[in-house]
Structure 1
């Protein structure tokens, strides 16, 4: 895909999915091809440029993991140390499960901490310490290390570990250890953002044909290590990817991470969940095994902005996409599928769908109420099938309303014929989403995994 073709597709996809602006870059055979399209801010009419900053969103988690691995390289942190070795007051719930959480579990999302927790906090030097104190009232879902469940709170806790180990705030450590050594056009400082081209988020309401500027710029500052405050341009993501593909060495030859650290981050650490495109997780990175080699990456979102970074270590390739519309996920999915297939020979992922065959199982053992810090899942039998209904925790629900982010609908669970595995009827982007029950006691499951994990009460 040459520059002309990339520009054409980006322009077309922005128009198709009502995304005000986007940038994209492809690293292939040592050459970067890039494009920019649309408007950075509909209120000002300023165009998107290739150096326009967009929200990195949860791609920040890979930056946070890389930052923590610099501490591991220096002997400041041990991956298998308990979190309490660095945060002596760390305690979640009754403290029993949380006392067994290790640093590695924070990075591979097996810690059991909240998937989403967005407290109302003000930005400041102690915001992460306060965040960790606030999750004391939560519970740990499942046994630490027992299963993968995406955890924003776990990554924020990793940020607090970095602060304890380095004596610097997460923002300072990120700037000094990652952003500046790589020479990235990236920052967590809003004062710097306002002095250059910076995209703001936009939303499209269901059924609408035009976007509106978002009412807020960023989500909660306490979520910074997980993805709320880092903004960067598309070339910063490619340079960050190149450092990882080069075994931790920056373009100018400076070593940022050890080769061992980069290899460990992208190696399989744990399986994620049946039916997921990214079937494995390393440290910080998602992994998708394919015949063309693993695709190692992470996506992200902030208020009205969607992002993606994919790397292909076996081919020394990468794709980065940044968008400033809440329908950017549709653009990202379409462009990712095209680029990975055309440039790197990666076939599109085939999402699981119902077989159409009638599967007869006893539904009653799955019914009940399952809870997590981020909300409640109620599973009941309705008209002869299982139905799952999610009720988000109130503070999280308020953020979702602000972001025009719909809660998962009450979903019919269709049995697949494999024990404990179902497909939930979900929505237009992903018509069916995997759902899974596991960890059985007395014939009934104690864990329900649907988008996030919930534990039977």
Structure 2
């Protein structure tokens, strides 16, 4: 990130957590400041009201200039501002990391993308209309397997299991109590269970924990210094971070869920990161720094994904999705929701990057659209 501070003096804007900008001295700098103001105003608007206590975003323009913006507060009790180096739980933005490792194993000849899951996890995937002998690895990563989500585990209320530890096989077992959503390849439906199975596949093939493989093959390889997988039993967020909040209704009470057992997400949603690191990851991925051309092409081959997000027209590849833009075209990204935080992000092939985090999940469709619109503003202005 690049921010200007005259003579080392920390301005009121910096103390408030907003991006720091000097007085523009040319037409080009004035235009840059105008773009900055639009992005900052959109974050300020998002943090207004009772929906999102804190907001954090990192944006990079085509020329390589990066800025990190904040709005709102990091803590509803102390009212301290959001720090620009804050880490957050990124939820389903973990899935592209997991998919990348699976595709690396495909490139190494250790996994067949169109081989049945049964080959790697024999006897595990069995249920009503669910048969691992007929479901491929590609269909897991693409969400076209027809395997239901394990979300019924939350039926009795999230707060009751906030500190519960889950083994991956337990989540798979919950999902397999349900009937298949459709025959393999006959539809598209987002299911976290697909990525729990992908994580188990990684462990079976490598003989190592999926957390270790993601760290070695992705995080360390491209130098993501603020991204990590919490260890077993670790319910905290290391380093600077805002508080995460949870409520079930728009006007409900905000419950602090910063300290939480993240195992319910595992290979589908356990990572902690920053908006800046998410930008670095997706840019490195698209630049071919993590996958060979054949595997990257497979990852970016998309299918229609009805109901993927509040933005219409999104499509899904293998752990990555398209994000339609109001200024034309689309960005590549994913997004993630986990209790206490939501992240939305996108990078374009012409060098624009934006990643946004809010410190509470939306409780209404309108709020979800507001987050998506703020990301769009960051990429299009």
Same structural fold, with TM-score higher than 0.5 when normalized by the shorter chain: yes
Aligned residues: 329
- Does the CA contact (< 8 Å) of 2:279 and 2:347 recur in 1? no
Quote the Cα distance in structure 1 between the aligned partners of 2:45 and 2:267.
33
* Paired position in structure 1 for 2:121: 87
Higher strand share: 1
Structure showing greater relative contact order (alpha-carbon pairs closer than 8 Å, 6 or more residues apart): 2
Structure 1 residue 151: deviation in Å?
1.1
- Does the CA contact (< 8 Å) of 1:118 and 1:220 recur in 2? no
Higher helix share: 2
- Does the CA contact (< 8 Å) of 2:130 and 2:179 recur in 1? no
Structure 1 residue 304: deviation in Å?
2.7
- Does the CA contact (< 8 Å) of 2:164 and 2:261 recur in 1? no
Structure 1 segments (4+ residues) deviating >6 Å: none
Shifted more, 59-68 versus 42-51: the winner is 42-51
In structure 2, the gaps of 5 or more residues are: 1-33, 154-160
* Paired position in structure 1 for 2:212: 172
* Paired position in structure 1 for 2:158: none
Quote the Cα distance in structure 2 between the aligned partners of 1:96 and 1:304.
33
Matched, 1:22 2:22: no
The CA deviation string for residues 311-369 of structure 1, in whole angstroms up to 9 with x for no partner, is 222x2322200110233635412312323433xxxxxxxxxxxxxxxxxxxxxxxxxxx
Instruction: Give the 3-state SS of the residue equivalent to 1:155 in structure 2.
Output: helix
Quote the Cα distance in structure 1 between the aligned partners of 2:92 and 2:151.
14
Matched, 1:292 2:292: no
Instruction: Give the 3-state SS of the residue equivalent to 1:236 in structure 2.
Output: helix
After TM superposition, the score normalised by the length of structure 2 is 0.77
* Paired position in structure 2 for 1:277: 312
Structure 1 residue 145: deviation in Å?
0.9
Structure 1 residue 133: deviation in Å?
4.3
In structure 1, the gaps of 5 or more residues are: 250-255, 343-457
Shifted more, 186-195 versus 318-327: the winner is 186-195
The CA deviation string for residues 196-239 of structure 1, in whole angstroms up to 9 with x for no partner, is 1123322456463x962334644661431111x21111111111
- Does the CA contact (< 8 Å) of 2:247 and 2:255 recur in 1? no
Q: Of 275, 286, 291, which residue of structure 2 is paired with 1:234?
A: 275
* Paired position in structure 1 for 2:353: 318
Instruction: Give the 3-state SS of the residue equivalent to 2:58 in structure 1.
Output: strand
* Paired position in structure 2 for 1:69: 103
Q: Of 301, 306, 316, which residue of structure 1 is paired with 2:342?
A: 306
Quote the Cα distance in structure 1 between the aligned partners of 2:128 and 2:361.
38
